[in-house]
Amino acid sequence: MDWQELTDLTQGRPFVVERVRLADNGVAVEGEFEPPQLAQLDVEDQVFVAAFVRAHGSIKEMERVFGVSYPTVKSRLNRIAQRLDFVDVDPAPAGASADTLDRLQRGEINVQEALAELEGTG
């Protein structure tokens, strides 16, 4: 079964993967794995997202490829985006680093003191 058949079968309903087998060595892992958000989109939306990435985010190229207008492309992107959780690509530093940066921002320590703490010499 390929990914399109699986997506058609689930019809947008939530699902979990319970067994994963590595194709090259046959090792299998069982558990409860939630598929990535993109895999939970319907086939047409997955194809649209893949085309958007291949077009390097060019809405003009998407208009050409799909033969639709700018507002149609934007509308579809907005609809897809609503189905996806925000992914923080620049998360705040964890632990002591975050505390150091917070204190620096509040003016409790100066830049040199913050650098020394972050480098582990403070």
Q: Rounded to an integer, what distance in angstroms lies between the CA atom of residue 33 and that of residue 114?
A: 40
Helix (H, G, I), strand (E, B) or coil at 17: strand
- Predicted confidence at residue 102, as pLDDT, reads 83
- The whole-number average pLDDT for the span 9-27 is 86
Q: For 20-56, what is each residue's pLDDT tens digit?
A: 899 899 899 999 988 888 888 888 999 999 999 999 9
* Angle at the Cα of 66 from the Cα atoms of 62 and 68, rounded to 5 degrees: 85
pTM: 0.59
Q: Domains, the chain, ranges and CATH? A: 3-83 (1.10.10), 90-122 (no CATH)
114, 103 Cβ separation under 8 angstroms: yes
Structure tokens at 63: 């208009």
- The pLDDT of residue 60 is 96
- Which tens digits make up the pLDDT trace of 61-96? 999 999 999 999 999 999 999 988 876 666 555 566
Q: How far is CA 89 from CA 7, 30, 100, in A?
A: 27, 29, 21
Q: Please report how many Cα atoms fall inside a 13 Å half-sphere around the Cα of residue 51, on the Cβ side.
A: 18
